[in-house]
């Protein structure tokens, strides 16, 4: 083990945990810092991953093998070598789980903290213990203000999590013989800069429900909600920054610091913010929860012990996807004071950001990396071992399709321009046991497509399924495009020439392996002949015609050509058209499922009921069809950009809204 001379030395427990990774990262930014981290032998791979993540060398980040549940934490020889050399001991290792049992809480949170305190006492010298507690020390039923100077106020700590957080802080206060400071984070959410999070907890339990409502309820239809209790949130980067800053300040020993957003958002306001981040409907009004007589919470607590009532409560918890203990925050009436924290940070730039300012990052990270699809036995049988290349895989349909193919055993080859986004998605897929590769390519550039094709075939030997998903859409009337011929050229370049270049490069390999499939993501506009989409529909129709001709030529080689006439999907591609906020659209999840089913069943053409009806209508009654589409053209205004700026886009009239729902999923 290496030791540095007069440099700043830190010792961290829980370094590979979520908060711990952010703390260690920031400690290593400090000049001449050496960080010793307590690591179990069974977590050696996590330590190596942490070193790699932080780009740390063996002199900056040093493993101390041991465990907080072990008396003394580590062996006596190591403790002796560390004695008098550690400046700050950050204790983050604990169970942060509202579903924890008493035995786990006592063993890790309480006895673990006692072992850390005894270790700090043994280190002696200049060490200061930085103990990470929680706002949970206030218990689950506290009403009113709970200050940083308050601790043992007779609060209800009957739940294992509340009890052990309270008792572990008491151990620090009563048994620590060296200087100490206590930090009480609230519900720690993802990073306010990147959205990074590592587990479902706190408000994240609500995200699947928000997504379901977002996918089913029109954005223009306002919701009614409940105001609920106060949510003590804090992003992980603020928690780490505040702790490290305060740890290095003079005169803060023996104090507790509450790390939360101030003021606290109510549950209703938090949901409103997250619905907005998810591009879902807003709230027309929020109602306060009705007051319960003081005797009721205690009575409910006792009656829940009755088996049928306990089973009913658990069923309700499973139905909404939120642990019973976490449901208590729906009525939380504790308001946490952070005046000591704000006073300590007043001369710095460290401030806890408001949820509304970073909610979009939390949502995007969750939807991209944490909302992962499940495997299906039938799909695994059809797709397992297949090499699937997906263009436009960094967002929207392509990203969700990549996760679905990977979860069902395929090797996904993701292609897009944004290499950093692809890398992040690939890491997520691999962390779930999938196989993902990624390549950056500008599909507008034919030479780049040639290079991509050659590299993929060199690396993987073949591509079994090619999904031409990347595309460009332009919503602009022809009479508004008379001076914009380049719109037609660039749309054709990506949506047609780029696709067939890739197909033609990969076809020889499919022929060689006597099998394959090309799936082209076309548009319902090719069936409905949507006004304002002449450039887009023409490019997709060209690819459609090419594919129909090709299909007969390659059938003898067991190669299928599939076309999905995709309806309007709520993706980043349609976001600039504010009109679509008021028009019904498919969710990205539904669209990705459509792509997956086309591959599993090797379907020739995939159309929605509306798409089929539109195709039939144009074939049988073309003049009537033109009349309906002409009326739609008049009802649905052009975008501000198409009109050359000026007035913002008009909202839909009632007639327009009715027609939008009649033509649900069409490009308007």
Q: What residues are labeled active site? A: 536
In terms of phi and psi (left: phi > 0; alpha: psi -120 to 50; beta: otherwise), the region of 245 is: alpha
Q: Cβ of 143: how many Cβ atoms within 10 Å?
A: 12
Token pair in block for residue 278: 């998810």
**Rounded distance between C-alpha atoms, residue 75 and residue 285, angstroms:** 60
Report which DSSP code applies to 366. I
Q: Cβ of 385: how many Cβ atoms within 10 Å?
A: 10
Distances (CA, A) of 492 to 253, 506, 578: 67, 20, 25
Residues in contact with 54: Cβ distance below 8 Å, sequence separation at least 6, in sequence order: 21, 24, 25, 28, 61
Maximum distance among all alpha carbons in the chain?
Answer: 91
Closest CA to 198 of 209, 189, 208, 186: 189
CB 559 within 8 A of CB 510: yes
CB 131 within 8 A of CB 115: no
Token pair in block for residue 86: 């550690």
Query: How many CA atoms, within 13 angstroms, populate the side-chain half-sphere of residue 14?
Result: 23
Residues in contact with 190: Cβ distance below 8 Å, sequence separation at least 6, in sequence order: 196, 197, 235, 236, 361, 362, 365, 366
**Rounded distance between C-alpha atoms, residue 340 and residue 186, angstroms:** 15
Token pair in block for residue 172: 């620090």
Residues in contact with 263: Cβ distance below 8 Å, sequence separation at least 6, in sequence order: none
Report which DSSP code applies to 323. -
Angle of the 534-554 helix axis to the 499-512 helix axis, nearest 10: 20
């Amino acid at each position: 083990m290496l030791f540095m001379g007069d440099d700043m030395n830190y010792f961290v427990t829980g370094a590979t945990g979520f908060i711990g990774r952010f703390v260690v990262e920031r400690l290593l930014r400090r000049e001449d810092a050496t960080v010793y981290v307590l690591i179990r032998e069974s977590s050696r791979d996590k330590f190596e991953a942490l070193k790699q993540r932080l780009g740390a060398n063996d002199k900056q980040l040093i493993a101390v093998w041991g465990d907080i549940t072990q008396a003394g934490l580590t062996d006596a020889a190591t403790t002796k070598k560390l004695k008098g050399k550690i400046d700050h001991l950050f204790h983050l290792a604990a169970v942060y789980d509202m579903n924890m049992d008493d035995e786990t809480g006592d063993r890790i949170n309480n006895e673990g903290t006692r072992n850390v305190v005894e270790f700090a006492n043994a280190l002696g010298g200049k060490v200061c213990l930085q103990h990470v507690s929680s706002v949970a020390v206030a218990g689950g039923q506290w009403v009113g203000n709970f200050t940083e100077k308050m601790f043992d106020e007779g609060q209800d700590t009957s739940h294992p999590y509340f009890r052990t957080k309270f008792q572990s802080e008491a151990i620090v206060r009563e048994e620590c013989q060296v200087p100490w400071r206590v930090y009480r984070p609230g519900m720690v959410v993802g990073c306010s800069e990147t959205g990074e999070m590592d587990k479902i907890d706190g408000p994240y339990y609500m995200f699947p429900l928000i997504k379901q409502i977002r996918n089913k309820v029109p954005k223009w239809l306002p919701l009614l909600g409940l105001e609920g209790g106060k949510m003590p949130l804090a992003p992980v980067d603020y928690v780490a920054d505040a702790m490290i800053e305060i740890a290095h300040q003079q005169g803060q020993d023996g104090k507790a610091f509450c790390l939360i957003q101030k003021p606290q958002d109510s549950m209703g306001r938090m949901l409103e913010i997250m619905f907005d981040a998810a591009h879902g409907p807003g709230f027309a009004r929020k109602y306060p929860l009705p007051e319960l007589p003081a005797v009721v919470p205690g009575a409910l607590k006792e009656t829940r012990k009755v088996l049928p009532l306990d089973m009913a409560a658990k069923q309700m918890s499973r139905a909404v996807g939120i642990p019973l203990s976490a449901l208590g925050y729906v009525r939380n009436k504790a308001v946490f004071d952070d005046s000591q924290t704000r006073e300590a940070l007043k001369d710095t730039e460290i401030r806890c950001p408001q949820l509304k300012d970073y909610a979009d990052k939390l949502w995007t990270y969750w939807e991209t990396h944490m909302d992962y699809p499940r495997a299906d036995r039938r799909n695994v049988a059809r797709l397992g071992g297949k090499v699937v290349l997906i263009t436009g895989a960094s967002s929207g349909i392509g990203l969700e399709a990549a996760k679905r193919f990977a979860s069902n055993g395929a090797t996904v080859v993701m292609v897009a321009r944004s290499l950093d986004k692809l890398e992040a998605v690939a890491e997520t897929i691999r962390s779930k046991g999938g196989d993902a590769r990624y390549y950056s390519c500008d599909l507008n550039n034919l030479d780049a497509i040639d290079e991509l094709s050659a590299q993929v075939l060199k690396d993987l030997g073949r591509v079994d399924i090619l999904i031409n998903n990347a595309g460009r859409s332009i919503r602009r009337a022809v009479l508004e495009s008379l001076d914009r011929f380049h719109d037609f050229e660039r749309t054709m370049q990506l949506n047609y020439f780029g696709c067939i270049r890739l197909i033609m490069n990969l076809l020889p390999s499919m022929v060689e392996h006597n099998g394959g499939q090309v799936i082209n993501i076309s548009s319902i506009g090719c069936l409905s002949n949507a006004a304002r989409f002449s450039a887009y529909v023409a490019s997709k129709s060209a690819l459609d015609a090419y594919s129909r001709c090709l299909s007969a030529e390659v059938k003898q080689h067991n190669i299928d050509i599939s076309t999905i006439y995709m309806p309007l999907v709520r993706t980043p591609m349609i976001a600039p058209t504010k009109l679509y906020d008021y028009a019904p659209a498919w969710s990205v999840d539904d669209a990705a499922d459509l792509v997956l089913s086309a591959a599993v069943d090797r379907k020739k053409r995939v159309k929605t009921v509306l798409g089929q009806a539109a195709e039939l209508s144009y074939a049988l009654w073309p003049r009537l069809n033109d009349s309906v589409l002409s009326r739609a053209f008049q009802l649905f205004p052009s975008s501000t950009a198409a009109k050359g700026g000026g007035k913002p886009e008009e909202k839909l009239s009632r007639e327009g809204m009715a027609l939008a729902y009649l033509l649900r999923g069409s490009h308007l």
